Chains A and B, each alone.
Chain A
Amino acid sequence: MLEVDGLKKRYGDTVALDGVSLTVGPGEMFGFVGANGAGKTTTMRIVMGVLGADGGEVRWKGRRAGFETRRRFGYMPEERGLYAKMRVAEQIEYFGRLGGMDAGASKRSSDALIERLGLTERRGDDVDSLSLGNQQRVQLAVALIHEPEVLVLDEPFSGLDPIAVDALAGVLAERTAAGVPVVFSSHQLDLVERLCDSVGIIKGGRMVAGGTVAELRARESRKRLRIVVTGAESGWADRLPGEIITKIVRPPHGDPAQSGATERYDEVILTPADDQEALRVATSAGRVQHFGWLEPSLAEIFREVVA
């Protein structure tokens, strides 16, 4: 289990991190979201030891993570860095060797990753002759080559096309299936929602929300009800308790003998004062087609939390 406990970091008078804590269990995919400058990158750099913290600590398997522990972590920094004038395969293998693998193991692991990431045809090319998307794949391979015990990826999906996103997501899923905790930051919240077991939202150097996506929803989504009623009389919605956010009404039309939307259709999104009373009002007004809490997307939760 990777534990980040109460990290603090100041740059002069600016407080970058003010007690950031998070926990990622084995095989868990953790999405780290927050506005630009909220502290994601600073946190990840401290986790990787390339930046010193003013307070707090990082633990792996219950022990404070030192240099030797972090050598077994895989890292993809925010600003991509590769040797421009070095061949793809050679470069990936080099990082494998630096990560402690012998030549043979490094070669095998590199070959597998190159194959998996679709770089086979470019393996002998200098990195700077590759497209940005392919460079990003090499960057990922560099993070994965030494079969790390923990993966820390800063914006791994930015700039990738949908196919590359799927390839990367597939690779990450393999790693979590093997029990590796994965932390990644992203602004693509739909992706985070889709991939992550848990999410942490950071704002101004503090974690403001965290948990599984379902937990976040449960906490944040009690406020909005979506009610669809057909065949109601006009004005029924005025009896609903609470504040109506949106209301869509389609009046009855067409020949009643024919099938189709001939009844009046009402769709209301409501912040209810009393949900049970709202249900009674709806059932008495007409036929209830839909009555349920509106599940917000992660993006909506994020906006609400960060606002």
Chain B
Amino acid sequence: MNAVALVARREIGVRGRTKGYRYGLLVTAVLVAVLAALPRLLGGGSDHTVGLVGTQADRLQAALTAQAPPGGDLTVKVTRYADETAARAAVAAGDVEAAVVGNETVISKTVVGQDLSVILDTAHRMVATEENLTAAGLDPAKVGQAQQVRPMKEVTLNGSGEDATVRLVIAMVIVVILFMLLIQICTWVAMGVVEEKGSRIVEILLTSVRPWQLLAGKVIGLGVLGLSQIVVIAVVGLAAAQISGAVPDLPDGTYGVVASTIVWFLLGYAFYAAMFAAIASLVSRQEELSGVLTPATMLLMASYLIGFIGARSPDGTLTHVLSIVPPFSSMVMPVRSAVVDVPLWETGLAMGLMVLAAAATLYAGGLIYQRAVLRTGARVRWREALRSAS
């Protein structure tokens, strides 16, 4: 096994074994699952009980069942009663929520709940209309056919109408997850670099592996942990949506958005990890770390905030430009893609630029790391690190 793989494996083994990582992953998975299933858990899945009395009970029952097919989120259980007195008693006893007497009166303890009320009202109209049509000598079936018209095609100028809210939520979730993961994993990279430099273990390591191998192994190993987190989040989120039946509510192209978010995570990670590692190699103590990392953290924060703005105004100039300019694009573009349809060439351009930026940062970061990592003691200055030939 080569040195890079060995280093990466150690990072995964040691970091992945910590309780922090395992519980973090578990908690995230649960949170995402709940979040994805929440709309359905709150909105749907109600069961109703209705009592029916009178000659039109058959037809009413048919109308009710038509609206609430068995196995759906909404069920209506029908009970027949011989007369109004029996129905009243049943409502009073709480056996049924409401009783319809002769398609004329609805009896309930208090006001009927909104969704049940709509169902009952619709059933009432259906049955009554049929009756009236028949009385007027018309065939209800033919009238029904005549009433079936194709819905108008919807063209929305701004976004996708009804999906807008869902898309916005998805975009917000993406930007939060990207930010949290990037800052977490990149901080691990930085801490790992300082751990090795501060403890001087790097002196032993560098007699066996080259600096770039050590850095690459660390970045790849921790990147695998980050990637596994984002994949778990994506899979759990989509699975929870599937199971809870929220999938039909997801806008078209959600899967594509999720997939491209993962790609953007990797690009952003390559960029920021190299930057964090290079900066971390300048200091020898963990206490100095947050200080020197501030500019890089600010950059990440700025991307995060612009990503948030971008979710709300996906067509704004700021969003538009920064969704292409690296490193902001790594957070702004996936957000923008989640909200509106982005032309393919723009996505391609943004990714291409980000790949270049990440490659340049990896190269420069590697050089700085190599030159600074053995220089323990006082903080190494940027200029020294860039100038000195190890």
Contacts and interface: CB of A to CB of B under 8 A. Distances in A.
B201 interface: yes
Contact of B202 (A45, A52, A81, A95): A81
Interface in A100-121: 100
B109 interface: no
A51 B374 contact: yes
Interface stretch (B135-143, B153-161, B207-215): B207-215
B199 interface: yes
A99 B205 CA distance: 9
A108 B58 CA distance: 83
Nearest to A77: B203
A45 B203 contact: yes
A95 B208 contact: yes
A81 B207 contact: no
Contact of A98 (B18, B196, B208): B208
Contacts of A77: 200, 203-204
Nearest to A102: B1
24 contacts: A45-B203, A49-B206, A50-B203, A50-B206, A52-B389, A73-B207, A75-B204, A75-B207, A77-B204, A79-B199, A79-B200, A79-B376, A80-B200, A81-B200, A81-B202, A82-B201, A83-B14, A83-B199, A85-B14, A85-B18, A86-B10, A94-B10, A95-B208, A98-B6
Interface residues of A, number: 30
Interface in B1-44: 1, 3, 6-7, 10, 13-14, 18
Interface centre among A83, A97, A98 (most CB of B within 10 A): A98
Interface in B148-190: none
A142 interface: yes
A77 B196 CA distance: 13
* Interface residue range, chain B: 20 to 34
Closest 3 CB pairs of A and B: A81-B201, A81-B200, A98-B208
Contacts of B207: 48-50, 70-71, 73, 75
B6 A94 contact: yes
Interface in A23-54: 45, 48-52
Nearest to A100: B208
Given A51-B374, A83-B14, A98-B6, A142 B203 contact: no
A98 B206 contact: no
Interface string B97-120: 000000000000000000000000
Interface centre among A49, A50, A77, A86 (most CB of B within 10 A): A50
B14 A86 contact: yes
B315 interface: no
A85 B201 CA distance: 13
Contacts of B195: 83-84
Contacts of B6: 94, 97-98
Contacts of B203: 45, 48, 50, 75, 77, 79, 81
Contacts of A90: 13
Majority secondary structure of chain B interface residues (helix, strand, loop or mixed): helix
Interface string B253-265: 0000000000000
Contacts of A142: 204
Contacts of B14: 83, 85-86
Contacts of B1: 97
Nearest to B5: A97
Contacts of A84: 195, 199
Contacts of A81: 196, 199-204
Given A50-B207, A77-B200, A79-B199, 6 more contacts: A52-B389, A82-B201, A83-B201, A98-B6, A98-B209, A143-B204
B46 interface: no
Interface centre among B1, B14, B389 (most CB of A within 10 A): B14
Interface string B206-249: 11111000000000000000000000000000000000000000
A81 B202 CA distance: 8
A50 B374 contact: yes
Contacts of B199: 79-84
Contacts of B390: 52
Nearest to B6: A97
A299 B106 CA distance: 110
A103 to B, nearest CB: 8
Contacts of B208: 71, 95, 98-100, 146
Nearest to B7: A98
A305 B386 CA distance: 42
Interface string A186-204: 0000000000000000000
A50 B214 CA distance: 14
A81 B390 CA distance: 21
Nearest to B210: A67
Contacts of A85: 14, 18
Contacts of B376: 79
Contacts of B374: 50-51
A40 to B, nearest CB: 15
Contacts of A83: 14, 195, 199, 201
Nearest to A49: B207
Contacts of B202: 81
Contacts of B206: 49-50
Given A70-B207, A75-B207, A85-B14, A98 B3 contact: yes
Contacts of B389: 52
A84 B390 CA distance: 27
B264 to A, nearest CB: 32
Contacts of B18: 85
B60 to A, nearest CB: 70
A73 B68 CA distance: 78
A100 to B, nearest CB: 8
A95 B204 contact: yes
